[in-house]
Amino acid sequence: MPDTDPTTPAGVSFVMPVLNERDYLEHAVRSVLEQDVDGPTELVLALGPSTDGTTELAHRLAEEDGRVHLVQNPAAHIPVGLNAAIRASRYPTVIRVDAHSELSPGYARRALETLERTGAANVGGVMRADGRTPFQRAVARLYNSPVGLGGGAYHGSDREGEAESAYLGVMRREVLDRVGLFDESIRRGEDWELNLRIREAGHLVWFDPQLSVTYWPRESWWRLARQFRATGAWRGELVRRFGRSNGLRFFAPPALVLVLALALVVGVLQLTGVLHGVLSIVASAVYLPLIAYAALVVAVALSGRRTLRDRLWTMAVLPTMHVSWGLGFLTGVLRGAGDTVDASRLGNRNTPLP
């Protein structure tokens, strides 16, 4: 339980769910422990059942620095781990961090100043994706582009102001206690749902572009596809639950999938002669948005100064992100997300950090 003693100085509790992050965890933890704020800090790691040595590494980090505390998250679900870490933490400001991310220097101090200046209940900043391999760089480039992930503020906006949600989030504990913690029935998109409740309770969610977090995307095509399919499925589930509260940008990938499916049907009917003559010509209009989309993919891949390998990966990654997400979304809307999890987290063979 949190320490409610009024003599306890104001401090910051960082909370981080961890599963199979051996090659990223130490760098993520270091970026947290190097944050300079007034008052005490702690980092609570919620440990899932990792199979790659992450748990052993976490115990070593806790032994080396008394600010690192460990709690168990046997279910391995992110919102369950976050709630366990929050309940085990002590201080009035809770900062969510991710094992696949690194906080920029001064992140926490700036976030606390923004909380105070705006009176917001939750503050977030920009997710700066980065990569080391040609594949990961292509993914990172699209994460940072409105074409890739739909133009959410935290993917690159430079305009400070009120926001729909917050990446990771720097939260007032008193507000979390009032509106409730993360909904443990939601496996992905749990931050969006929490921020919806915060806003519906009359509190402010704020975006500050001066806050920056480095995010390392998935390292392989298959992991990326699984991640985006799971994320799309849970967005579909959130649409089932909350309807119009979801932004229109979430509907673009499933629209692409539906057009692809329709084009496939039309193509088969044309090849078999079922569609012919004027009717076939009219039906061919379904190909126009796909031609426009293909041109967009090529234009994005060719823009900027990049190697041929980076360009080719961009042409492969962009439709992978959109189609995987769209397929997941349609499944989530029609049948619900059920027990869908991000299977890309269940085993890691990451590229070691330098």
pLDDT in tens, 23-36: 899 999 999 999 99
Residues 6+ away with beta carbon under 8 Å from 309 = 134
pLDDT computed for residue 2 by the predictor? 45
> How far, rounded to the nearest angstrom, does the alpha carbon of residue 69 sit from its chain's CA centroid?
24
pLDDT computed for residue 341 by the predictor? 79
Tokens 């933890």 belong to residue = 29
* Residue 37 token pair: 């704020």
pLDDT of 3 strictly over 60: no
Question: 287-304: b or e for each residue (b if 16 or more CB lie within 10 Å)?
Answer: eeeeeebeeebeebbeee
- Report helix, strand and coil shares of the chain as percent, to nearest 5: 55, 15, 35
- Separation CA 77–CA 17 (nearest Å): 8
* Residue 159 token pair: 């305009």
pLDDT in tens, 247-265: 777 889 999 999 999 999 9
Specify whether the CB–CB gap between 212 and 126 falls below 8 A: yes
Give pTM, 2 decimals: 0.85
Mean pLDDT taken over the chain: 89
Choice between 347 and 162, residue whose per-residue pLDDT is larger: 162
> How far, rounded to the nearest angstrom, does the alpha carbon of residue 186 sit from its chain's CA centroid?
14
pLDDT computed for residue 175 by the predictor? 96
Around Cβ 192, how many Cβ atoms within 10 Å?
Answer: 21
pLDDT computed for residue 146 by the predictor? 78
Assess if CATH 3.30.1490.20 describes domain 12-217: no
Show me where the domains of the chain are located.
12-217, 242-345
Specify whether the CB–CB gap between 105 and 32 falls below 8 A: no
By CB atoms closer than 10 A (0-12, 13-18, 19+), residue 139 is: buried
pLDDT of 98 strictly over 90: yes
Tokens 């059942």 belong to residue = 49
Mean pLDDT of 142-146: 84
**E strand or H helix at 44:** strand 41-47
- Separation CA 323–CA 330 (nearest Å): 11
Specify whether the CB–CB gap between 199 and 245 falls below 8 A: no
* Residue 176 token pair: 């979390």
Q: What percent of the chain has pLDDT over 70?
A: 91
Residues 6+ away with beta carbon under 8 Å from 207 = 123, 124, 125, 153, 154, 157, 159, 160, 161, 162, 163, 166
Specify whether the CB–CB gap between 23 and 352 falls below 8 A: yes
pLDDT computed for residue 184 by the predictor? 93
Mean pLDDT of 197-205: 96
pLDDT in tens, 203-217: 999 999 999 999 988
Tokens 């409730």 belong to residue = 180
- Separation CA 334–CA 318 (nearest Å): 24
Tokens 């932004």 belong to residue = 247
